[in-house]
Amino acid sequence: MRKIAVFISGEGSNAAKMLRNFSERDGIEVALVYSSKPNKNLKALCEQLGVVFHYSLWNETEKINLLDLCIKLSIDWVVLAGFLKLIPESFLAHFPNKIINIHPALLPKFGGKGMYGMHVHIAVIQAEEVESGITIHYVNGAYDEGQIIRQFRVSISDNETSETLSTKVRVLEHKYFSDTVAELVISAKN
């Protein structure tokens, strides 16, 4: 059984998808959800599914506590699902090539510090791109720069707005992210 920790900073809709998807699969489970903000809905869903939900600040002491918790729960992989903080070296060293992120655009364009949420979709529309999508990638010490695992694309229509694009990209995330993570993690050698 591969044990996953999901880290979030926002609403957690992708984390919720993953919790439900993995609860019906063999070989993979979400064993921990960490949120850098209080999140009543995710906490309730975790309680319902028997998954540990942990909220704390993201400071030096709490980062150490979180890594300790991951070790205590025998976490194998970490999935960032709308997590806005930079992952420290201690986590990268403990989970080499086992931390995955989702980004709501086609990297390497429209990534980096400050490129999150609606900022990404506004930048894509302003650049008059003809397509956008999602990028699922490994995490390294820089924002949005780790090796790309998979991308899924959506076309941009002439009258597209950042809001309509955001909705289209969200549909892609909910459709593909959890299955892509499950396939990758289950097929990995360790």
What does the binding site for ligand GRF look like in residue numbers (CB under 6 A)? Answer: 8, 10-15, 81-82, 102-104, 173
Assess contact for 16 and 46: CB atoms under 8 A.
Answer: no
Active-site entry in 54, 94, 103, 121: 103
Tokens 């950042």 found at: 162
From the CB of 52, what's the least distance to ligand GRF, in Å? 19
Verify whether residue 103 is a known catalytic residue: yes
CB–CB of 5/68 below 8 Å? Answer: no
Q: Which element (helix H / strand E) includes 149?
A: strand 148-155
Neighbours of 144 (CB within 10 A): 22
| Nearest approach, Cβ of residue 9 and ligand GRF (Å) | 7
Of the two residues 72 and 85, which places its CB atom closer to ligand GRF in the complex? Answer: 85
Q: How far apart are CA 113 and CA 177, in angstroms?
A: 22
Pairing of the two strands 77-80 and 52-55: unpaired
Residue among 8 and 61 whose Cβ is closer to ligand GRF: 8
**Smallest distance, ligand GRF to C-beta of residue 134, A:** 6
Q: Which is nearer to ligand GRF, 12 or 31 (CB)?
A: 12
Q: Which is nearer to ligand GRF, 27 or 168 (CB)?
A: 168
Residue of minimal Cβ distance to ligand GRF: 82
Cis ω on the peptide bond leading into residue 108 (within 30° of 0)? yes
Q: Could you identify the residue written with the tokens 């900022």?
A: 119
Conformational region of residue 126, where left means phi above 0, alpha means psi within -120 to 50, and beta covers everything else: alpha
Output the CA torsion sign for 140, 146, 150, 156.
positive
Beta carbon of residue 112, minimum distance to ligand GRF (angstroms, whole number): 13
The residues annotated as belonging to the active site are 103
